[in-house]
Structure 1
């Protein structure tokens, strides 16, 4: 909330599945989502009993 770093990923909580999903920066606001800087994305932890799903971009190798 008060971090001055540039947002690079979006964290979304899926309460029904006890899951935190960290993925690419979203282009639109979604309920229960938060944009995070690189430092906070790397340090993310979840409450006990929750899982973290991390989507990693590998680039465009067409």
Structure 2
């Protein structure tokens, strides 16, 4: 959902730049891109942690990690 919000802010910034509000439009584009990068970084970090957690299960029958 946050990806869509950041994409909407970038689109709104582009519309604002085309309409004549260059400073406000560029600020909106930068804010949307920054938020998108922040969300992407957090999502990739969460995926990495999930992968680590899934790899740390212990087999109860053989007492080895799998």
Q: Normalising TM by the smaller chain, what interval? A: under 0.3
The TM-score, its normalising length taken from structure 1, stands at 0.23
Q: Could you say which structure has the higher strand fraction?
A: 1
Give the structure with the larger helix fraction: 2
